Amino acid sequence: MAAIDWTRLWQRRTAAAVGLYPLALLYAALLGVRRGLWRLGWRRPWRAPVPVLVVGNVVAGGAGKTPTTAALVQHLRRRGRHPGIVARGYGAPAADGSARLVADDPDPARCGDEPVLLARATGVPVAVGRDRVAAVRRLLQRHPEVDIVVADDGLQHWRLAADAALVVFDARDVGNGWLLPAGPLREPWPLRRAPAPTVWVLRTEPASHPPAAHPYPEFAAQRRLAPETVALDGTRRPMAHWRSTPEAIGALAGIARPAAFFAALQAQGVPLAATVPLADHAPTAQLRAALHAAVTAGGPRQWLCTEKDAIKLRPADLPEGVGVWAVPLEVVPSAAWLDALDAWLATAGQPRPRAL
């Protein structure tokens, strides 16, 4: 049986989506109960002793949150701040539920692929934990110099109070506008709760159809492939090399939208002889097996993949004579968004007196 293409199903109100709508109503009811508990004060958020800026989205699947987080952190460092990151660490074992520092055990199988990627890309401390409050506490205990926390994919984690929230959208916008599983929405849009005193919308791609109306300031960013590719051993080659090489080239992606990565490569003029799409956060064993199967079947010997995939592979994982090259994804926010961020940093984004 073919796997369901949820991304495509969620773009329109098709018969299949309509069939799932009763489940979306049930999900909406559960969300309403959850909102009620917080509004009545039966659940209360914890406020960190430093400002917290959440980067998240309201749709299922990647919209560019991780490269946006990296770009945001790099900007904070340029402004003289000392940011730290907290993340869920998708795929990391729950263990006892405690938070951990990526620096203590930088294995994607134990910390999650995106936190390890963020730690390498930004050079700032990253704490991982299902409980973001515990992650922030661990981060600040180990790194008291941190004066602002960026929560990657934390929009639906209400227990951690946020001072600002950045909601990221790609070309899909809100799809058919329905809640899961009939549509892509993790919560209603516009938001029916106040995730933070300040809320911005950042579009990493122009919407493919008229976007849903909302009351928040909106800004643009450019999402693009980096000009250099990086092999597992650190060797670098310009993207131009892959446009002109006589070798057959394959592309592998274990992300939310593999087709978007393949299309971006082709838009750069890279002729792909084979593509292998895998599920988001595909584990090392699955990546390794897919490569071996493709090469055994006579596929290309050179493969391009995302950084999130490459971070889980080692040269010893590859068939002999096969090369894998990571293609970093960059998000370049507009000057208008950076100006808005700087204005917030000068006021509400100032550090608070420490009292853990």
Which of 176, 201, 196 has the alpha carbon at shortest distance from 20?
Answer: 176
Strand partners, 219: 202
For residues 154 and 86, the answer to whether their CB atoms sit within 8 Å is yes
- H or E stretch covering 8: helix 6-9
Helix (H, G, I), strand (E, B) or coil at 149: strand
Does 62 count as an annotated binding residue? yes
- H or E stretch covering 249: strand 249-253
Does 103 count as an annotated binding residue? no
Which of 312, 335, 307, 331 has the alpha carbon at shortest distance from 73?
Answer: 331
Rounded to an integer, what distance in angstroms lies between the CA atom of residue 216 and that of residue 18?
29
Helix (H, G, I), strand (E, B) or coil at 220: strand
Does 61 count as an annotated binding residue? yes
Does 60 count as an annotated binding residue? yes
Which of 345, 354, 356 has the alpha carbon at shortest distance from 150?
Answer: 345
| AA letter at 10 | W
Q: Which residues fall within 8 angstroms of residue 7, CB to CB, at 6 or more apart?
A: 61, 172, 184, 256, 257
Q: Which residues are annotated as a binding site for ATP?
A: 59-66
Q: Which residues are annotated as a binding site?
A: 59-66
